[in-house]
Amino acid sequence: MSQIEIKKKSIGLVLSGGGIRGMAHIGLIKAMQEHDIEAEVISGTSVGALVGALYANGNSVEDMLQFFRETPLFQYNFFAINKPGFIDTDRYFSIFKGFFPENSFESLQKPLYVVATDLMRGLEKVFSEGELIHPLLASAALTPVFSPVEIDKTLYADGGIMNNFPKEYVDGKVDFVIGSNVSIAGEIGKKDLKNSLQLAGRVTGLMIYAASHKKLDECDLFIEPLELEKIGVLDKKGIEKAYQIGYDHGSRALESLLIEK
């Protein structure tokens, strides 16, 4: 496929959850922009929803990275009191308001679909209109670290519980789908399964990966950088490295695709 051919197509972008590893999504977006490719419709879960919202809002790649550099993960005055979870997710509202002052899906430059989990009904919930910030907070509320977010008397949490790669919401709306999965479930050693917490994390990761991977293969182009496994999900020191990994993989994937025939 030539660069001219892909530019004639409408593009959808699907971004998975995966914590700090999601900075690879920003690297992919940088590579897309360098190839003059822009997505028209975006869907995302957890960190993928946050990156997708910043992209749909027209923020630059540097602005996106700065958002994650500046947003604290474990700040003492953010600890939850009388709420499930260690960190009070609602304390992030004012930080998000600085980036999304109009606080609405309608204020974004591109359609965005944000997936969260309805904890009370055990259902997947997609948000695409109305208030923006609370759905973003809910989608990224990784349990049990962050408290659930209440929207219309319902408690919502991390969208990755139900759907970590929400490709369904761009299907049928575009001609060409680009996906980025940063929830990797590669091979590990016995030393990584020494306690119950490690075991639970591994099993959860495998379940999420299995549910996502078939949809990833259905994308017209996708990246899934295995090197991201070495970056902790909540390790802010990995921001720059994850971004660079995503950029490198995105650049190679696009260059491979856009060879003139």
* List 43, 46, 183, 212, catalytic entry: 46
Residue 182, pLDDT score? 94
Decide if 169 contacts 141 (C-beta within 8 A): no
pLDDT at 261: 41
Q: Is 46 a catalytic residue?
A: yes
**In the chain, where the domains are located:** 3-256
Which among 90, 118, 139, 158 is annotated as catalytic?
158
pTM over 0.85: yes
Q: Which CATH architecture has domain 3-256?
A: 3-Layer(aba) Sandwich (3.40)
- The per-residue DSSP string of 106-171 comes to GGSSS-EEEEEEETTTTEEEEE-SSB-HHHHHHHT--TTTB--EEETTEEEEEGGGT-SS-GGGTT
92 vs 118, more confident: 118
pLDDT at 4 > cutoff 70: no
pLDDT of residue 179: 98
Q: Mind listing the pLDDT tens digit for each residue in 162-212?
A: 999 999 999 999 999 999 999 887 677 788 788 876 686 677 777 777 778
Per residue in 28-85, pLDDT (tens digit) is: 999 999 999 999 999 999 999 999 999 999 999 999 999 999 887 655 456 666 677 6
In whole angstroms, what separates CA 7 from the centre of its chain? 24
CA-to-CA distance for 240 and 213, rounded, in angstroms?
26
The reported pLDDT for the residue numbered 64 is: 97
Is residue 206 classed exposed, middle or buried when 0-12, 13-18 and 19+ CB atoms within 10 A define those classes? exposed
Higher pLDDT, 233 or 149: 149
201 vs 113: which has the higher pLDDT: 113
pLDDT at 207: 76
Q: Residues with Cβ < 8 Å from 100, sequence gap 6 or more? A: 53, 57, 107, 132, 133, 136
Question: Residue 158 catalytic?
Answer: yes
What whole-number distance in Å separates Cα of residue 61 and Cα of residue 78? 27
Q: What is the pLDDT of residues 85-112, one digit of tens each?
A: 667 788 899 999 999 999 999 999 999 9
In the prediction, which pLDDT does 151 show? 97
